Amino acid sequence: MKKLLVALLVFTGVFALAACGADDDTQGVYEDKVVVGNAAATSGGFASVGVPFNSAIEAYFAMVNEDGGIAGRELEFVHYDDEFDGAQGLTYTQRLVEDDQVFALVGHFGTPTVGATHDYLNELGVPRVYYATGISQLFNPAATGGERYSFPVQPIYDAEGEVMVARAVAEYDASKIGVIYTNADDGNGMLNGIELRAQQLGIELVTQQVAPDSSDMSSAANTIVSEDVDAVIVAANQVPAEVAIKALYSASSDAPVFTSYVNAAESFIANLADEIESGQFPIYSNAWVNIFAEDGASFNEGYLQFAEENPDYAANSYAMAGWIAAHFFVEGLRRVGEDELTWETYLEAMESEPVENPMGGIVDFADGRRAGTQSMALLQATVDGETYVWANFRPMEDIQAILD
Alpha-carbon span 209 to 219, nearest angstrom? 10
Burial of 226 (0-12, 13-18, 19+ CB in 10 A): exposed
C-alpha closest to that of 186 among 227, 132, 223: 132
What mean pLDDT comes out for the span 56-79?
Answer: 97
For position 299, what pLDDT does the model report?
Answer: 58
pLDDT in tens, 37-53: 999 999 998 999 999 99
Residue predicted with more confidence, 12 or 381: 381
Percentage, residues of the chain above pLDDT 90: 70
DSSP for 204-230?
EEEEEEE-TT-S--HHHHHHHHHTT-S
Q: Centre a 10 Å sphere on the Cβ of residue 366 and count the other Cβ atoms it contains.
A: 10
Backbone angles phi, psi at 168, to 5 degrees: -60, -40
Computed over every residue of the chain, the mean pLDDT equals: 89
For position 18, what pLDDT does the model report?
Answer: 36
Alpha-carbon span 193 to 80, nearest angstrom? 33
Cα–Cα distances in Å, from 165 out to 279, 281, 342?
Answer: 22, 17, 42
Q: Centre a 10 Å sphere on the Cβ of residue 200 and count the other Cβ atoms it contains.
A: 12
pLDDT in tens, 103-123: 999 999 999 999 999 999 999
Whether the Cβ atoms of residue 350 and residue 370 lie closer than 8 Å to each other: no
For position 3, what pLDDT does the model report?
Answer: 40
Q: Centre a 10 Å sphere on the Cβ of residue 154 and count the other Cβ atoms it contains.
A: 22
For position 317, what pLDDT does the model report?
Answer: 81
Using DSSP's 3-state secondary structure scheme, residue 203 falls into coil
Backbone angles phi, psi at 358, to 5 degrees: -65, -10
For position 291, what pLDDT does the model report?
Answer: 52
Alpha-carbon span 45 to 41, nearest angstrom? 8
For position 314, what pLDDT does the model report?
Answer: 82
pLDDT bracket for residue 353 (50, 70, 90): very high
pLDDT bracket for residue 68 (50, 70, 90): very high
Alpha-carbon span 187 to 181, nearest angstrom? 5
Pairing of strands 355-356, 362-363: antiparallel
- pLDDT value at 304 more than 90: no
Residue predicted with more confidence, 288 or 92: 92
pLDDT bracket for residue 7 (50, 70, 90): very low
Q: What is the pTM assigned to this prediction?
A: 0.74
For position 289, what pLDDT does the model report?
Answer: 74
Percentage, residues of the chain above pLDDT 70: 91
For 260: left if phi > 0, alpha if psi spans -120 to 50, otherwise beta; the answer is beta
pLDDT in tens, 180-239: 999 998 999 999 999 999 999 999 999 999 999 999 999 999 999 999 999 999 999 989
Q: Which domains does the chain have, with CATH numbers?
A: 2-155+299-368 (3.40.50.2300), 158-287+376-403 (3.40.50.2300)
For position 251, what pLDDT does the model report?
Answer: 98
Cα–Cα distances in Å, from 71 out to 32, 207, 227, 340?
Answer: 9, 53, 61, 10
Least confident of 29-33, 166-170, 291-295, 316-320: 291-295
For position 341, what pLDDT does the model report?
Answer: 98
